[in-house]
A and B are shown apart, each in its own frame.
Chain A
């Protein structure tokens, strides 16, 4: 791509950029700069908890402008060298300008096009399921095959394993390289068994360091370069050599990068408005610094370890509106639920989160993070199906319409976000002989589906 610093230049800047101590970066640079741009663009206290889905697009555009300025002021902090990688305005503008606006993920008839969208765009957000919830090795293949069989789901990410052939895996050791490869092979097999061998995937979630990727991505039987390589940040506006190693590896393999840039409400960027500005900045910078194809990320509320609360939904809507209205980037985002399988609250949380992302312009939405992604085996294919159903059917809906639906959904679960019911694990939520949902789980799904249809989400009926 033209006018964007190449990876050699980025690595040089990682060593020669301005020195800054970690604490000065967090407090004096990030926090101070976020406060200043919020003030300059008059964005303070604009979070409207009564209307979580923003309908004032001029406000979204101001968030984009503020985020763009923040990106130029800050750059990325490199944890290993304690130096800052900055880019010029021309470099940033060119990185955005020449970034892809559509991308084919996967192969043949099973693959899918991810396209740049705007709010209420009739082209649907594409859905990757699920997030990296740990799954026992003995049920992994069956469970992931079950997710891949859900035809509404466009791209497979699915759970992660913590053992390989029964052996516990240690981060930062060759175990992780082996795990990356084994995970990738099982994902390929799951797609084959599901009758979707060309289905696109995102990897490798089991082993998130560069060692995991070396084993997983582009290896024989592993993730193909038509799949997306998952590049995670250590935290907002920060990268490290792990991140950069994965970028370099993906580029060498001729693959495609999905960079997930996080922001935290209550974290270094402060209030919801600060998290949005920081997330805009972090996202657009990734295109200049990490050479990614798909970008965007997650905004979480550190108080709730979630983003389906009011402030979280507002921030998700705003950042996607800001970026999708002002760029043609392929934007990714995540809804982070906290309730578990066989609870209606999980489905309400999914409906609110996915409708928010889909109507706000996200190109790719990933979920669910059942039970907050915290508990082993607490994930089932059924809620993955619901994620995709809601996301696809709410993509073309106007934010003002979705706002009214979300306002109906929130009272159904928000009181329990801090102390969620984590429900039941896969082994109790599904019949293990047939790998189908128990009657209890199926009944809850059907009831909630009817409820959200009556609220105005046009899901297909049974």
Chain B
């Protein structure tokens, strides 16, 4: 099997969500001497783009996004082992800690964001639903997260997002993590008001937002949050 074929098959395996095959082909790519960053750029990223486009077109759905994200993560785990510290850092987009805020058990939007972020090359730690503010912070420290992403669909859970940021400040950790928000009642105004770093209306926005935060010169605790896709008023 030549290098070009391996890249093509790996891309296909990620699209199909075949994590076993993705790992096998990633190992093969390493054996053939392909640079891990080349594999990411020419196989994994294109695969993720294709799945994302299919989702937007209504040709792929949340399960396909999830399994493609899992396959991409499995492949990245193999490839990143081969890299030196500096290259590994360059290849990793970052770790996103994701959860639905305390008091809320709705998980569909969160699952969608998890899948889209994974498909965009982020390591996503999914804390699930009904997550207390302190649990976000403890998990962020444990996982060495770059971004804490919290969502809620119900208005009475919104105050906990502010509580999490206040707790981060009180613990002297606000500059350790970007904090981004999403969910039905969350607005750009709320994001600004509580001092979060960014807001997105849907899963694609969340990916755009995370990409901007990790690739720019931003530091957590932005004076002005980054707003993706705000609703417009008359």
Q: Are B234 and A423 in contact (CB under 8 A)?
A: yes
Chief secondary structure at chain A's binding surface: loop
Of all chain A residues, the one with the shortest Cβ separation from B101 is A171
Q: Are B154 and A423 in contact (CB under 8 A)?
A: no
Q: Is B142 interfacial (CB 8 A cutoff)?
A: no
Complex CA gap A88/B89 in Å reads 54
Q: Are A242 and B232 in contact (CB under 8 A)?
A: no
Q: In the complex, which residues of chain A have a beta carbon less than 8 angstroms from the beta carbon of B104?
A: 171
- 8 Å CB interface, A376-422 against B: 419-422
Q: In the complex, which residues of chain B have a beta carbon less than 8 angstroms from the beta carbon of A209?
A: 103, 156
Of all chain A residues, the one with the shortest Cβ separation from B105 is A234
Q: In the complex, which residues of chain A have a beta carbon less than 8 angstroms from the beta carbon of B202?
A: 303, 305
Q: Are B159 and A170 in contact (CB under 8 A)?
A: yes
Q: Are A375 and B231 in contact (CB under 8 A)?
A: yes
Q: Mark B103-118, 1 if CB is under 8 A from A, else 0.
A: 1111111011000000
Q: Mark A72-109, 1 if CB is under 8 A from B, else 0.
A: 00000001000000000000000000000000000000
Complex CA gap A375/B232 in Å reads 11
Of all chain B residues, the one with the shortest Cβ separation from A341 is B234
- Known contacts A235-B107, A267-B108; is-contact A373 B61 (Cβ 8 Å): no
Complex CA gap A340/B66 in Å reads 33
- Known contacts A26-B63, A373-B184; is-contact A264 B160 (Cβ 8 Å): no
Q: Are A171 and B103 in contact (CB under 8 A)?
A: yes
Q: Are B233 and A266 in contact (CB under 8 A)?
A: no
Q: In the complex, which residues of chain A have a beta carbon less than 8 angstroms from the beta carbon of B58?
A: 265-266, 271, 303, 311
Chief secondary structure at chain B's binding surface: loop
Q: Which of A268, A302, A340 contacts B233 (CB 8 A)?
A: A340
- 8 Å CB interface, B79-122 against A: 102-109, 111-112
Q: Are B67 and A27 in contact (CB under 8 A)?
A: yes
Q: Are B106 and A422 in contact (CB under 8 A)?
A: no
Q: In the complex, which residues of chain A have a beta carbon less than 8 angstroms from the beta carbon of B157?
A: 171
Q: Is B187 interfacial (CB 8 A cutoff)?
A: yes
Q: Is B155 interfacial (CB 8 A cutoff)?
A: yes
Q: Are B56 and A172 in contact (CB under 8 A)?
A: no
Q: In the complex, which residues of chain B have a beta carbon less than 8 angstroms from the beta carbon of A160?
A: 155
Q: Are A374 and B106 in contact (CB under 8 A)?
A: no
- Known contacts A170-B159, A270-B61, A302-B62; is-contact A240 B105 (Cβ 8 Å): yes
Complex CA gap A251/B232 in Å reads 44
Q: Min CB distance, A205 to chain B, in Å?
A: 10
Q: Which of B129, B159, B231, B232 contacts A374 (CB 8 A)?
A: B231
Q: Mark A264-284, 1 if CB is under 8 A from B, else 0.
A: 111111110010000000000
Q: Are B63 and A421 in contact (CB under 8 A)?
A: no
Q: Which of A262, A343, A419 contacts B234 (CB 8 A)?
A: A343
Q: Are A371 and B231 in contact (CB under 8 A)?
A: yes
Q: Is A194 interfacial (CB 8 A cutoff)?
A: no
Q: Are B155 and A267 in contact (CB under 8 A)?
A: no
Q: Is A179 interfacial (CB 8 A cutoff)?
A: yes
Q: Are B156 and A176 in contact (CB under 8 A)?
A: yes
- 8 Å CB interface, B166-216 against A: 184-185, 187, 201-202
- 8 Å CB interface, A228-283 against B: 234-236, 238, 240, 242, 262, 264-271, 274
Q: Min CB distance, B156 to chain A, in Å?
A: 4
- Known contacts A160-B155, A170-B156, A235-B107; is-contact A419 B232 (Cβ 8 Å): yes
Q: In the complex, which residues of chain A have a beta carbon less than 8 angstroms from the beta carbon of B102?
A: 171-172
Q: In the complex, which residues of chain A have a beta carbon less than 8 angstroms from the beta carbon of B185?
A: 134, 374
Complex CA gap A311/B59 in Å reads 13
Q: A271-B58, A374-B185 are in contact. List 20 more A-B contacts (CB 8 A).
A: A26-B66, A26-B111, A162-B155, A162-B158, A170-B103, A170-B156, A170-B159, A171-B103, A240-B105, A264-B62, A264-B108, A266-B61, A270-B63, A302-B109, A303-B55, A342-B234, A371-B231, A373-B184, A375-B231, A421-B234
Q: List 25 A-B contacts (CB under 8 A).
A: A26-B63, A27-B67, A134-B155, A162-B156, A169-B156, A170-B103, A170-B159, A171-B103, A209-B103, A234-B105, A264-B108, A266-B55, A267-B61, A267-B62, A302-B109, A302-B112, A303-B202, A343-B234, A374-B231, A375-B231, A419-B229, A419-B231, A419-B232, A421-B233, A424-B233
